[in-house]
A and B are shown apart, each in its own frame.
Chain A
Amino acid sequence: MNILVFIKQVADTEARIIISSDQKSLEIENKYVVNFFDEFAVEEAIRIKEALKDVEITVCTFAPARATEALRTAIAMGADKAVRIDSSKYETDDLLIIARILAAYAKNEGFDLILCGRQAMDDESANVGAMVAEFLDIPHISQISRLNMLDPGRAEVENEIEGGKKISEIALPALFTAQKGLNEPRVPLITGVMKAMKTEITVLDPASFDAPFGPIDNESSKIHVLSYELPAKRPSVRIIDGESPEEKAGNLVRLLRDEAKVL
């Protein structure tokens, strides 16, 4: 059984981000991590491999060279192979293009199951997973919190939907996006880290494989960022006066009603 895990390397929460003076680009401090939700996807693939044995896990990202580190983290956790589809000539704001590239890779490579995180922490778009599933014409289930492999061709998954929780039986191949709580991602052991250092990372040019799902060049991008700006700053906090907690509470409520007008 082949499991593909799509991951994204994202800026760490603490990373400093500077907007260029023409507001057209961002400079991001070199602090990157594996996207939080993608760790659950990697972990789940490893758990399936531990349970079923005859499983190969390929972790794949569409990214510049810096993301090699993220791939090595996934190998250190227990993935078998790592592939970086080089994004340097295909930088785009249009996630549909990224989905076309990843779907084309998956189709060429073959797979039984695709896992990824429910959304990336940087853009919070939650787009690429479901888009890839659509291009590949396979079912997807969003934000799964439990996965049981029933037999080689089927999986039972639990996911959160509007108003409750659903349990479904899905015929593979399929794509699932991971929610927090699916598992507890492991911390790589030193042996894993040693292995990851030695593992060769395959680097692919998107032009090197068939792209049957539509154009992938930047010219065909339907979305572009016009500008970046800083969010509006709040004025400094107003600390509420009062002799007692009761008086402070009273003063706060008056300000919320009369000044902020939110009551």
Chain B
Amino acid sequence: MSNDVLVFVECKDSMPRKASLELLSAGRQIAAKFSSSLFAVLIGSGVKQAADMVSGFSDKTIIVDNGSLADYGWDSTGSALQEIVKKYAPMIILGTSSMTGKDLFPRLAARLEAAMVSDAVGFDFNGDGLKIKKPLYGGKVISWIAARADSLLIVTFRPNSFAVNEPGQKGEIIEEQVNIQKNPGIKVISFTKAESKKVDLQEADFIICGGRGMKAAEHFSLLDGIGDLMGGRVGASRTVVDSKWREYDDQIGKSGKTVSPKLYIGCGVSGALHHIMGMDTSKVIVAINKDPNAPIFQYADYGIVDDLFAVLPALKDELKKVREES
């Protein structure tokens, strides 16, 4: 085993995901500490353009570009990744705690007998080793985890856990041919692409979230307008999703998605614990609620106590001004 760091890069619309660039920036720090190399790995079909961009963030960029890898599968993508891991023998593999990451890495960890830490949010150096920061119990507790030094370590991180570095000099791109294995027990019948071209909720820098205080599905157009303006996403509390005002895909909280954007604005969100657990790691939290005793104010950085239907149009205008200035 080397001391090298290998980052599994996920792509969306033929471009690397922001979360993967974050991992490369984190991987850079780890590789510097261990005086080792940083590898990016892209597995898919038509990944050369993405690889070119990624190469500015890594020492070497390894691609497996094959028509049969167009659609992700733990079997096919996993078999390709496994061969790359065998050949390059890294010390650590970094992935994203995304739907793909959650599906792929546990299986790979079992196959490779690797140490695995999932859904982490940071790391630090621990003498000669590495320690991984992972929240437990919806963020009520932070744990610091170490792996045995002689073991391959696989870590998946939540999106928005690290800042993205500026790209540097482009490194070498290496194309590998590998055997791709498909599981004979799985037959894909159909794939329906989600219509939204918007950024994923978990990757969004800006989230404006509606709660019960939004009162009706049609009022969410107020939030959609601000979300679009800011290039972010609209989230929803559990009550809102249970009332069918918004899709489950938008739900933030313990039974939905865990998000940590730069800026989270909760509108008419009371702040039930299961919701807080899904957004507590946001960098800045704003709450807009007419009830000054709403629990969400205990978790917020800034609060507006007022009628959100009066605040939101003004907020949109003010945000628009700032956008136009910059």
Contact = CB atoms under 8 A, between A and B. Distances in A.
Nearest to B188: A168
B302 A139 contact: no
A162 B249 CA distance: 11
A256 B206 CA distance: 12
Contacts of A181: 248
B179 interface: no
B183 interface: yes
Interface in B107-156: 107, 109-111, 113-119, 126, 131, 134-148, 151
Contacts of B249: 160
A167 interface: yes
Contacts of A214: 113
Interface in B253-301: 254-256, 258, 262-263, 273-274, 277, 280, 283-287, 292, 297-301
Contacts of B141: 17, 19, 26, 228-231
**Contact residues of B: prevailing secondary structure:** mixed
Of A13, A15, A128, A142, which is in contact with the most chain B CB atoms at under 10 Å from its CB? A13
A193 to B, nearest CB: 24
A134 B184 CA distance: 14
A237 B103 contact: no
A262 B144 contact: no
Contacts of B136: 122-123, 228
A81 to B, nearest CB: 26
A242 B118 CA distance: 44
A138 B184 CA distance: 10
Interface residues of B, number: 91
Given A231-B139, A238-B302, A239-B303, A139 B186 contact: yes
Contact of A180 (B192, B248, B273, B292): B248
A168 B189 contact: yes
Interface string B174-208: 00000000011111111111100000000000000
Interface string A223-263: 11111111100110111100011101110110111001011
B87 interface: no
Given A139-B75, A226-B145, A262-B283, A165 B106 contact: no
Contacts of B287: 237
Interface residues on A, range: 35 or more
B100 interface: yes
Given A230-B141, A239-B303, A248-B304, A126 B297 contact: no
B102 interface: yes
A161 B315 contact: no
A64 to B, nearest CB: 17
Contact of A237 (B107, B119, B254, B297): B297
B307 interface: yes
Contact of A253 (B102, B285, B300, B319): B319
Interface string A197-224: 0000000000000000010000001111
Interface of B: 10, 12, 72, 74-75, 98-100, 102-103, 106-107, 109-111, 113-119, 126, 131, 134-148, 151, 183-194, 248-249, 254-256, 258, 262-263, 273-274, 277, 280, 283-287, 292, 297-307, 310-311, 314-315, 317-319, 321-322, 326
**Across the A-B interface, the 9 shortest Cβ-Cβ residue pairs:** A245-B310, A222-B115, A249-B314, A134-B110, A171-B185, A130-B106, A253-B318, A246-B314, A127-B106
Given A126-B119, A248-B311, A256-B286, 9 more contacts: A19-B141, A95-B106, A124-B258, A139-B75, A171-B184, A226-B144, A234-B285, A237-B303, A239-B297
Interface of A: 11, 13-15, 17, 19, 26, 36-37, 93-96, 99, 119, 121-131, 133-135, 138-143, 156, 160-171, 174, 180-181, 214, 221-231, 234-235, 237-240, 244-246, 248-250, 252-253, 255-257, 260, 262-263
